[in-house]
Structures are given as C-alpha cells and as structure tokens.
Amino acid sequence: MIVIYHHRHPGGMGDESMTYTQQGMVYGMLFGTVVAILLYSLTNDVVYFAFMGLPMAIGLSIGSYLDSREKKAE
C-alpha cells in the first residue's frame, strides 16, 4: 500500500510541501514507467511506452480530487 504524505522539497523551496495533485502525477508516472519497462523487457514491443501517461492522468485526477476535498474541509 502506498501512503501519500506531504513532505518538504529539498533545496530552496521554502516551507512549501507537495500537493496531492503533484504527488499523484509523480507516483502515476513512476508506476507507468515501471510497468512499461517491465512489459517492454518481456515482449520487446515498444507500444507499451505509449501508455505511460495513462497512470499519470489517473494519479492527477485522484490527487486533484484529494486537494479539492482538503480545500472544502478548511
């Protein structure tokens, strides 16, 4: 299970933390890349790299939903 949490950026980003939308994009792209590389290594078919953006879009929509819920709670 992946736990989504806010963490501080390294470097000169100040006290800003990553939003759920940003985390969703990062985790979605990471998942899509790993799956595409695994499928490519098993099949030698490059078509799987075309679908790397789909998990990122799903992560983006979930993160955006979580951010909107957090704003409504304030």
The string of pLDDT tens digits covering residues 4-21 is 665 555 555 555 788 999
Domain ranges of the chain: 20-73
Separation of alpha carbons 25 and 14, rounded Å = 21
Task: List, in sequence order, every residue forming a beta bridge with 8; answer none if it has no partner.
Answer: 17
- Give the pTM: 0.70
Q: 10 Å Cβ neighbour count for 63?
A: 22
Residues 28 and 59: beta-carbon distance below 8 Å: yes
Over 60: is that where the pLDDT of 55 sits? yes
pLDDT of 17-39, one tens digit each? 889 999 999 999 999 999 999 99
Residues 56 and 32: beta-carbon distance below 8 Å: yes
Tokens of 66: 């979580």
